[in-house]
Amino acid sequence: MNKTLKIILTVFGLLVIGLGGLIAFGMYTMDIEDMYGDNQDIFYNSRQGDFVINHETKELGQISKTWTRFYIIDNSDTLNINDWWDDKNIEILRLADKSISLDNLDYKDIDGLKKEKKLELVKSLR
């Protein structure tokens, strides 16, 4: 093969790979947007291990994430996020003090930990 044909095939191959990557990324973000709608920023901003508080039911949970979904671990049960929360009454908090765990926490302890700056607010839907 001559040099010009190799350059053309290389550029064409890179364009096909780039276009395929762009389509895959678009499908990934569309899947997240379809699942979470207006709350997709919660998926992007939360991390594995963040705390979720449902103020209506006074329950605590911990976030467990996969590539396109996140779940709540609540009392050793793993629940889909849509089964657990009410959009108007949740807060997502991140630990500033790593010595705190969900096993040691109760709903009554949350306000005190916020005042002591041991928990920082990630997102509030109140």
Print pLDDT tens along the chain (126 aa).
799 999 999 999 999 999 999 999 999 999 999 888 877 888 888 888 888 888 888 888 888 888 888 888 877 677 777 666 666 678 888 887 677 666 667 777 777 878 887 788 887 776
Q: Whole domain around residue 115: which residue ranges?
A: 46-125
pTM: 0.72
- Is the domain of 54 the same as that of 104? yes
Q: Look at residue 18 in the predicted model and tell me its pLDDT.
A: 98
- Is the domain of 110 the same as that of 64? yes
- Is the domain of 32 the same as that of 52? no
- Is the domain of 95 the same as that of 33? no
- Is the domain of 21 the same as that of 57? no
- Is the domain of 21 the same as that of 56? no
- Is the domain of 33 the same as that of 50? no
- Is the domain of 63 the same as that of 85? yes
Measured CA to CA, the distance from residue 25 to residue 31 in angstroms comes to: 10
The answer to whether 15 and 50 are in contact (CB under 8 A) is: no
